[in-house]
Structure 1
């Protein structure tokens, strides 16, 4: 059972948890999706957690199916004790050596940006799910979604500057900068806020989103009383 959860984290369920899920009254398509996930030991992803989930000892998980099932998205409430482990989406380096890596030029330029900023990017979205499942998620022009842990504003600025200088050809890069307190912000919005183009910035956490004007949420250490 995980003590803590974070956004974009992957959760593996055990046989009993899958059996319990499949006992619920699903339609035929949903049951087929769940059986595929169970039979191939595929993970679910941590979704936004509410106070009700915590009080009930539950965790909210998501399952975004591939085009095989019309890209259906399923939300599942599962007992925290049902998890047998957690893991992360593949890093960009891992994804580049997988069979699913197709837009190599963009991957290579993005890899250079991350290395120059001394950062590691974890790829979720269509690229990440295709790598994990082997199912067809990618479409022409699919964005590259990744989350990147940064240790503070200085590293965030460095990475945003490098991303801004990347060639614009190829898939759009949507990177979330994730700060030590657990708050995340889209790199383009971060760059605009730091440049003074906007007064506030939208930050996302495990329990919700907020517009922030202060800098406590992106401090090198988690600010007291600021939830993740």
Structure 2
């Protein structure tokens, strides 16, 4: 799927050879990072857009690569030229995670994905499960969370999805469900924190977006948040 510009957190990108040359030129060829990046490039795996620091120059993009367990299981952070990004994409749809779950849980997982779809949300899977699906390398370990990216249009939809996730989180033997609600204006909130905030159990909530963070104390939330594109147009 082609992602709209500007880049947002969780977008996946692949780079052309010139961009890779620029990235590798700043590293010592004998270093572990250099060797891992060469292997990553050779497989044409994507990089993920992370939160953008304010000091970036125009046209630059901060991205991350989480290395699999056999490669040292660390996260590499890179600055790349956005213009040299040759394709854009998204994390896999959540239902594909069934292939990484025990057979006894796969049907329940598909049922949850169908229920989320019925509420208008095509969830994506990121984190350990997402990267293992993308690369085929070992990321998922015992105790790994299932991280869901949940695009939502409004607060009511978010509340309904959270109800589904809370119920599913009680299923015996099921991985812990985590992840974020992502609103059209680029606001992202951990679904567990959203539930605590909306229920009154917490007075504040942390809101992430591509260019920073903010804390919201009041409980008012617009039923229909403006899209990122319309907010830029305004």
1:32 to 2:35 alignment: yes
Q: 2:140 aligns with which of 138, 141, 148?
A: 138
Q: 1:84 aligns with which of 83, 86, 98?
A: 86
Aligned twin of 1:9:
11
Distance 1:39-1:161 versus aligned 2 partners, 3 A rule = same
1:193 to 2:197 alignment: yes
Aligned twin of 1:44:
47
Q: Is the 8 A contact 2:123 2:150 kept in 1?
A: yes
Q: How many angstroms apart in 2 are the aligned matches of 1:100 and 1:163?
A: 19
TM-score, length-scaled by structure 1: 0.88
Structure 2 portions without partners, runs of 5+: none
Q: How many angstroms apart in 1 are the aligned matches of 2:4 and 2:26?
A: 24
Instruction: State the 1:104 CA deviation.
Output: 2.0
Q: Is the 8 A contact 2:196 2:202 kept in 1?
A: yes
CA RMSD of superposed structures (Å):
2.3
The Cα offsets for residues 93-152 of structure 1, whole Å up to 9 and x where unpaired, read as 3443xx545452552353144134221111110000000011101101210001111010
Secondary structure at 2:55 match in 1: helix
Comparing 159-168 with 180-189, which one deviates more in the overlay?
Answer: 159-168
Secondary structure at 2:5 match in 1: coil
The 5 Å alignment of 1:56-205 reads 56-96=58-98, 99-102=99-102, 104=106, 107-166=109-168, 167-169=170-172, 170-205=174-209
Q: How many angstroms apart in 2 are the aligned matches of 1:217 and 1:23?
A: 46
Structure 1 portions without partners, runs of 5+: none
Comparing 178-187 with 14-23, which one deviates more in the overlay?
Answer: 14-23
Aligned twin of 1:222:
226
Instruction: State the 1:218 CA deviation.
Output: 5.1
Distance 1:29-1:217 versus aligned 2 partners, 3 A rule = farther
Comparing 153-162 with 109-118, which one deviates more in the overlay?
Answer: 109-118
| Count of residue correspondences | 223
Q: How many angstroms apart in 1 are the aligned matches of 2:231 and 2:218?
A: 14
